Amino acid sequence: MQEFDLLVIGAGPAGYVGAIRAAQLGARVCLVEKAEVGGVCMNRGCIPTKSLVAFAELYEKTQSSAAFGVRVEGQVTADLAAAVRRKREVVATLVKGVRSLLVKRGVTLVSGEASFVNERTVEVAGARTTVGGAGADAHAVASADRFSAKKILVATGSEAAELPGLPFDGSRVMSSTEALELEAVPRSLLIVGAGAIGCEFAFVFSALGACVTVVEIMDRALPAEDRDISAVMERELRKRKIDLVTEDSVVSCAVNPASVRSTLRSGSELDTERVLVSVGRRFNTAGLLLDRAGVRCGPKGEILADEHMETSSAGVYAAGDVVGKKMYAHSASREAIVAIENALADGFAGNDASEAGRLREGTAAGRRTMDYSAVPACTFTRPEVGSVGLTEAQALELGLKVKVGSFNFRALGRAQVLGEIAGMVKVVADADTDVVLGLHVIGPHATELVHEGVLAVSQRLTARALSETIHAHPTLSEAVMEAAEGVRGLSIHSPA
């Protein structure tokens, strides 16, 4: 049995980031992954989806290039098969990069499926080990099937959830994984769920010529976003002739030779070539035998972790989707860093003792805590959506008095130049203190602009401080400044 300072189960954006941070701090690290490094995000989620989003966006821009004075001779066509090949190349390049980072940090990578033997020992079925020290080439070696460690991090992620009556068949009734492998555009597509994933795919396939219908059980598209943002999104969906059905759900579907017939709760029936189900995630905890380690799970199978990312079993930590908090790659990575720095600062004597001491600085109890108050959410539709902090409705539900400022992109010079004028920025501030509670953006490059709000919310900046920060002209970020000025009714370029 091989022994390590830290063992990580799962090599997604929580697992591989945690493994690298631990190695940076001098720990001997073993990372176990049953599939490929990078997890769902890199292989079957964020990265491949955004590759297809970029493809669809470029196709749309090429079609409208004449408005900018650029004439494209001949017919512009979209080759989805070629875009999928490029997507695979992008993914392969990034996976290779992560593997290289692990090798250079001396992380032992074990391929196989892990389960607990006890709170400090893990068994890996079919284990195959890759070993690489700093500057060395990775090579496969014979492996033991059991590994022990002083501390363990569980980062096994999640998978697409099925709905009763809509089981995935991998072809006609798909999850996002199968949708990313389509090499021909379906004539018609039903998307179940108008959350971030559903809306992203709706824009991609609509841009490529598919007839798209989206069914959402809640009363609006992007129900987790501020209502003003949802309203703009619904308007943009209508512009693209995407049919949005809200306050309804799909209860069953029948796969026929020529189509899939879906029956809605309201009694309506829809015939489409394919169905994409994007209604949430299920936690990858089955088969881990967590009870052997004394790790408790919640009612949905999520691992229960405290603010330090430690589970009910001392020395066993968890991070990423599997803890069921903010289920984003970026929050997963941050959770992993919090977990690792806590695990290694607590009784760890690594290669550099000063590093373990440094981790204790700035915290009364010597432990890092995970703060979810300023985690951005990004949706790569067209226009994009970026949000952080409280929506106006959430703030009011908490009993807070709020002031709101907003600014439309169409009044911005840079947006007019780009020909991307749809959308707005909305700032939600505390009426008593002027502290920014939330920032919500729908428009061009919203997923980048939102980080002004992340800084404001995390550092408790006031709307006035945000508005008095000089923003370069002409830039899209001026919309943030104008919206912040709007909190006091002083936005220069908003109509009175």
Contacts of 16 (CB under 8 A, 6+ apart): 8, 31, 37, 38, 39, 98, 101, 102
Contacts of 77 (CB under 8 A, 6+ apart): none
Enter the tokens of residue 459: 């550092």
The answer to whether 254 touches 260, Cβ cutoff 8 Å, is yes
Choose among 25, 5, 344, 311: nearest CA to 149: 5
Enter the tokens of residue 450: 């939102």
473 is catalytic: yes
Catalytic member of 139, 440, 451, 473: 473
Cα–Cα distance, 279 to 332 (Å, whole number): 20
Measure the CA angle with vertex 34, ends 31 and 37; round to 5°: 60
Q: Which residues are catalytic?
A: 473
